[in-house]
Chains A and B, each alone.
Chain A
Amino acid sequence: MSSETQLAQFIISGITTGSIYALIALGFCIIHNATGIVNFAQVDFVSLGGLMMYTLLLSLGLPLILSFALAVLTVTAVGALVERLAIRPARSRAVIVLIFITIGASIFMRGGFKVLWGKNQMALPHFSGESPLVILGAAVLPQSLWILFITLAVVGLLHFFFSRTRIGKAIRATSYNPRAAALMGVNVNRMILFSFALSGALGAVAGIIIVPITTLSYEIGVMLGLKGFAAAVLGGYGNSIGAVIGGLLLGVLESLGAGLISSTYKDVMAFAILVTVLFVKPSGLLGYGDSERR
């Protein structure tokens, strides 16, 4: 294997892992865009997406597309339920209170998954086979391309949604100043409900397309959550394009570090870069600080 092919493999491997981080990071951004909080239950939406897909596709034997749609719908409903049953009754806008509620919701959901699906590892089939494609001499799984393209499609849609549609703009207004938004006729509670449902849907999509590669368990989302969170922070927390750039960057740096320097220090290098970026630019690569949020 020539060194160019090796390099191509490192970069493509990095993009594969990076797009997984990016997709998880995107989920964190949506709730942040509406409420300004970190939703720790996001990782459980990811797990639930994968688990529902497993039940619908393998246990009930439904077709792929139908299972996909039903799994996303279920988690969307669960996302909305979390808002209605946990966030709204708190009647608080204090960020710290809401964050703690999401931690509680996360622990509660994970306990439920453990009881319903058991503690075993599970496997989901790849969407379009496992025969690797060869790009520039590097082997890449079709599933990785699915992840990459769906991530890019999602970020495009989100960008359009938040900057071009009335609801998207209303959600951003709610985050920026809920009181002023309410005075302008925005139904603040409904916007927060929307954003939780949306982040549920996104988490489900992430879970469904990621688990064929990562394997599935009741807490798979938690395993991936740390890196996803790091990617979101690296890109500028709350910025959806930043989340994708952060995720891909983290993945490629890890892979290059492991391949060219030493795999022993792979995680150390990725997090060292994260710390350095935050030291130089605390709001992240594409962050705008507190004054403006995209």
Chain B
Amino acid sequence: MKKITPFLLISFLALLISPVMAAEPIKIGAFYSLSGPAAAIGTPTKLVTEMVVEKINKEGGINGRPIELVLGDTESEPTKAVMVAKKFINVDKVAAIIGPDRTDLGMAVKKMIEEAEIPTFMTVGGDPVIMGGGPLGTFKWVFKSPQRSSVAVEKLYGYLQKQNLKKVALITASDGFGKDGKGWLDKLASKFGLTIVADESFNPKDTDMTAQLTKIAAATPDAIVCWTIGPAGAIVAKNVKQLNLKSPLFQCHGLPDPKYIELAGPASEGNMMPSTKLMAWEALPDTDPQKKVIKDFVTLYNDAYKINKQFPINTHSGYAWDAIYIVANAMKKAGTDPAKLRDAIEQTKGYVGISGIYNLTPEDHNGLGVDSMILVRIEDGKWKLVQ
């Protein structure tokens, strides 16, 4: 008996573990800007990615198979992003790709991904990655989790129309994200009965936008709309205050972030912007199906992983979570065959995520509508839901 007990114990244990042990992991590649100018966006996205993959694996993985994460750094540069994507496709042979996190980088790898036929869920802000035709090519294999720029513009313009702020001045960044936003701001203005009275741009690395804002002041707009991410947005807010412009300042959906208030200081007071529900989730009614999902996410982010110590929750925090969950859910249904996985992702309906309730279609590789966004205003250094 003495000799048999350990043997039995071991074989029993082996029996218990073996289904997990034997299951081959599924490789998912994830690449973000871990260094370079976008590092402050890419690094927390990577931390959330690790958090959600650990959660999925703890809950039994993909039908018993764990997810193996292969990470890459785009260094905020298109050429590096292409190199990492190549490695994912040719060396790691990943089943799906998450990222990158900037519009320019997404566009740099889009064609290669379409040719390699790997389902890819990006966390970029700009729309061209999921638009087709002409120089944009196809978007069969590419999806993205953040709201389209056009959706954010519609949310913002809807508010302006309701408040009867008809004359709009634009000040947009000259990078891919800013240009994408400007395109939609121009295109959708007439639909909401708005007139664009000034149209200025700036380099996101610029340190002073008073020249552009002086020109804007001369056009006496009812509202100023700024479209950029990063510190440039805070500089615009400070310059508006410096020139004592009375028109309210609206920022894009990329800026709701405690950092923005820290950088812009008192100049941020009264600024408004479209945002995901994450920025004011406590003010949501309990009937909102997203509220519970967001609460779980915030608890995990703040209390279990303590990512908020370095990166307080911002509007971007949930994008990687949603991207990975949609891909993982599709894998549970369809396995890892690229074509079947892609179809399953495209058929995602009613997935309740952090950033909204996703309903994807072959035409809409994002799946979020205007109702997924809220408008927030900064009051006393806090984010307040605008009803």
Contacts and interface: CB of A to CB of B under 8 A. Distances in A.
A120 B211 contact: no
Given A139-B244, A217-B231, A263-B202, A123 B212 contact: no
Interface string B350-368: 0000000000000000000
A246 B218 CA distance: 30
Residue picked from B40, B211, B218, B242, most chain A C-beta under 10 Å:
B211
Contacts of A123: 234, 262-263, 265
B254 to A, nearest CB: 14
Interface residues of B, number: 38
Contacts of B263: 121, 123, 215
Interface string B7-36: 000000000000000000000000000010
Contacts of A130: 238, 241-242, 265-267
Contacts of A114: 35, 39
Interface residues on A, range: 35 or more
Contacts of A35: none
Contact of A120 (B202, B208, B311): B311
Contacts, number: 103
A263 B217 contact: no
Contact of A213 (B208, B214, B217, B311): B208
B210 A119 contact: no
Given A9-B214, A259-B214, A266-B203, A16 B265 contact: no
A126 to B, nearest CB: 9
A263 B202 CA distance: 6
A251 to B, nearest CB: 8
Contacts of A266: 201-203
A6 B216 CA distance: 11
Interface string A109-122: 00000100011111
B243 interface: yes
B218 A120 contact: no
B212 to A, nearest CB: 5
A1 B263 CA distance: 28
B310 A215 contact: no
A132 B244 CA distance: 9
Given A223-B205, A224-B207, A259 B242 contact: no
Given A114-B35, A215-B235, A217-B231, A13 B211 contact: yes
B323 to A, nearest CB: 21
Given A14-B211, A122-B262, 15 more contacts: A6-B218, A9-B210, A10-B214, A13-B211, A17-B208, A121-B263, A123-B265, A130-B265, A130-B267, A139-B243, A213-B208, A213-B235, A215-B231, A215-B235, A224-B207
Interface of B: 35, 37, 39-40, 43, 174, 200-203, 205-208, 210-212, 214-215, 217-218, 230-231, 234-235, 238, 241-244, 259, 262-263, 265-267, 310-311
15 contacts: A1-B214, A9-B243, A17-B206, A20-B207, A114-B35, A119-B40, A130-B242, A140-B242, A214-B231, A214-B235, A219-B37, A255-B211, A256-B211, A259-B212, A264-B174
